[in-house]
């Protein structure tokens, strides 16, 4: 895995080790101003909005939210970038940041003045708010992958959850020897890059990356070949369910929920589905989780999904907007929502909350498992052409899984050539 320097170095230069809780600017300099927020529809963001009274009372700033469903969010942000002037703060998904760079203004100095501690954000999340060496947004919502497993089936087989990808086949076969379940459910089919998101952990673990230091596609390296051979090789080892060559993520999740598979690497937010009696045959006592396996001798990794919030270039109330952003990204606000017994919100993007004892007690240690993976995860460098890049890579993986192609090196070489042509 290549060394990430930009986000970490900038965080270190802005702030020291101490985390600062948000405090309103003395004198209420933005009293009477209104901050308009454009956010993707999310129960987490609605929980934050429900706590606005404290912020508005402390600052005299009014905050108005507009929510847009996810399928329409990119279009809404593009319209705001082109037309401008309607919103002061917006939420942007990591894969869109590069293409929307004219929408957001740098906020490094303003957030430093707010006392925001950038070192409290995992590097994989923070990097998505960096563009050309400048801070243009802060993580507010983030997802990681975990390995979910059937505690009862692993116990019956006398095995522990695999800590490495090399152990995966051994554990899976032991489970299959003592139950009717397949060892692990994995996505191999084509849909929104889902197969690539699991495969990436093997690429990083083998010392590879999608792009080299010059930005050239480089996953046709020895590391890329090894990652692909391992991932596709699970089909030949027959430790995945029948028909897995065309499985997308939801197929893998369904296989686990229905008791047909014993392990599942997937986003942490899926946890509630796995034991929902209306969707699943499993109980909470049967389902365990741990950080994603590593390649032997390598750091743990996880693919991440990050939503940042930033201040628009066309905002007429930039001071009030950054004041609001400081409150919105306060770890105390996030913690309050995580511990609210009336809510079922698990999302955390602050290291202090991911490792918090009370948070982990409430959620069974899930956040510490996420922190373990995020401690050494670097995240992906997305660009303007990410949807096309993702499609090329997922097509390559799918073609090998289906048996349409068999030469791993040739398939990866072709994929690299295709990406190089559009970068």
Total tally of structural domains belonging to the chain: 2
For residues 151 and 49, membership in a common domain is answered with no
For residues 298 and 387, membership in a common domain is answered with yes
Q: Tell me which residue has tokens 């702030």.
A: 15
Residue 68 lies in a domain: yes
pLDDT tens profile 320-366: 999 999 999 999 999 999 999 999 999 999 999 999 999 999 999 99
For residues 154 and 292, membership in a common domain is answered with yes
Q: Can you read off the two tokens belonging to residue 299?
A: 């750091």
For residues 277 and 406, membership in a common domain is answered with yes
For residues 339 and 257, membership in a common domain is answered with no
Mean pLDDT (whole number) for 236-245: 98
Residue 375 lies in a domain: no
CA distance 89 to 319: 11
**Structure confidence at residue 64 (pLDDT):** 98
Banded pLDDT at 218 (limits 50, 70, 90): very high
Residue 96 lies in a domain: yes
Mean pLDDT (whole number) for 224-232: 98
For residues 178 and 226, membership in a common domain is answered with yes
For residues 168 and 255, membership in a common domain is answered with yes
Banded pLDDT at 18 (limits 50, 70, 90): very low
Residue 60: HSE in the Cβ half-sphere, 13 Å Cα cutoff:
10
Mean pLDDT (whole number) for 110-139: 95
For residues 32 and 100, membership in a common domain is answered with yes
Angle formed at CA 352 by CA 349 and CA 356, multiple of 5 degrees: 110
Q: Which residues contact 337 (CB under 8 A, 6 or more apart)?
A: 44, 47, 48, 51, 343, 345
Backbone region of residue 226 per phi and psi (left: phi > 0; alpha: psi in -120 to 50; beta: other values):
alpha
For residues 48 and 192, membership in a common domain is answered with no
Please state, for a pLDDT cut of 70, what percent of the chain lies above it: 95
pLDDT tens profile 277-296: 999 999 999 999 999 999 99
263-267 and 89-93 beta bridge pairing:
unpaired
Mean pLDDT (whole number) for 403-414: 98
Q: Which residues contact 102 (CB under 8 A, 6 or more apart)?
A: 81, 313
Residue 222 lies in a domain: yes
**Structure confidence at residue 174 (pLDDT):** 98
Identify the domain containing residue 67 by its residue range: 6-142+305-364
For residues 177 and 281, membership in a common domain is answered with yes
The enclosing domain of 331 has a CATH number of 3.40.190.10
**Structure confidence at residue 85 (pLDDT):** 86
| Residue 7: closest CA among 179, 139, 115, 95 | 139
Residue 374 lies in a domain: no
How far is the first Cα of the chain from the last one, in angstroms, to the nearest whole number?
21
For residues 292 and 311, membership in a common domain is answered with no
pLDDT tens profile 298-318: 999 999 999 999 999 999 999
Q: For 89, list phi and psi in degrees, rounded to 5.
A: -130, 135
**Structure confidence at residue 84 (pLDDT):** 84
For residues 82 and 92, membership in a common domain is answered with yes
CA distance 275 to 138: 32
User: In this model, does residue 20 exceed pLDDT 80?
Assistant: no
pLDDT tens profile 39-68: 999 999 999 999 999 999 999 999 999 999
């Amino acid at each position: 895995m290549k060394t990430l320097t930009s986000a970490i170095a900038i965080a270190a230069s802005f702030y020291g080790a101490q985390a600062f809780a948000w405090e309103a600017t003395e004198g209420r300099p933005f009293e009477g101003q209104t901050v308009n927020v454009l956010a993707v529809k999310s129960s987490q963001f609605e929980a934050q909005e429900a706590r606005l009274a404290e912020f508005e009372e402390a600052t005299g700033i009014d905050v108005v939210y507009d929510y847009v469903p996810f399928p329409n969010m990119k279009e809404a942000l593009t319209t705001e970038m082109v037309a401008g002037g309607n919103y002061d703060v917006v939420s942007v998904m990591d894969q869109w940041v590069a293409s929307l760079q004219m929408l957001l203004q740098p906020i490094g100095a303003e957030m430093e003045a707010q006392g925001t501690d950038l070192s409290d954000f995992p590097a994989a999340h923070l990097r998505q708010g960096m563009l050309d060496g400048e801070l243009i947004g802060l993580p507010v919502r983030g997802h990681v992958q975990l390995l979910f497993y059937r505690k009862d089936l692993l116990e019956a087989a006398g095995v522990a959850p695999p800590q490495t990808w090399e152990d995966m086949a051994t554990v899976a076969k032991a489970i299959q020897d003592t139950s009717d379940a397949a060892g692990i459910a994995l996505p191999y089919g084509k849909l929104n890059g889902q197969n690539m998101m699991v495969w990436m952990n093997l690429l990083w673990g083998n010392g590879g990356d999608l792009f080299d230091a010059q930005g050239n596609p480089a996953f046709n390296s020895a590391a890329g070949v090894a990652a692909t051979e391992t991932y596709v090789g699970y089909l030949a080892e027959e430790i995945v369910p029948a028909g897995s060559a065309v499985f997308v993520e939801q197929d893998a999740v369904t296989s686990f929920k229905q008791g047909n598979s014993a392990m599942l690497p997937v986003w942490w937010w899926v946890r509630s589905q796995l034991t929902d009696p209306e969707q699943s045959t499993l109980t909470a006592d049967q389902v365990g989780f741990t950080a994603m396996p590593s390649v032997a001798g390598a750091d743990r990794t996880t693919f991440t999904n990050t939503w940042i919030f930033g201040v628009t270039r066309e905002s007429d109330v930039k001071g009030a907007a950054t004041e609001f952003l400081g409150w919105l990204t306060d770890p105390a606000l996030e913690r309050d929502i995580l511990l609210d017994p009336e809510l079922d919100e698990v999302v955390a993007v602050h290291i202090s909350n991911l490792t918090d004892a009370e948070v982990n007690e409430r959620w069974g240690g899930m956040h510490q498992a996420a922190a373990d993976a995020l401690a050494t995860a670097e995240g992906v460098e997305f660009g303007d052409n990410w949807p096309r890049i993702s499609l090329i890579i997922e097509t390559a993986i799918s073609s090998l899984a289906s048996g349409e192609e068999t030469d791993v090196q040739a398939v990866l070489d072709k994929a690299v050539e295709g990406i190089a042509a559009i970068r």
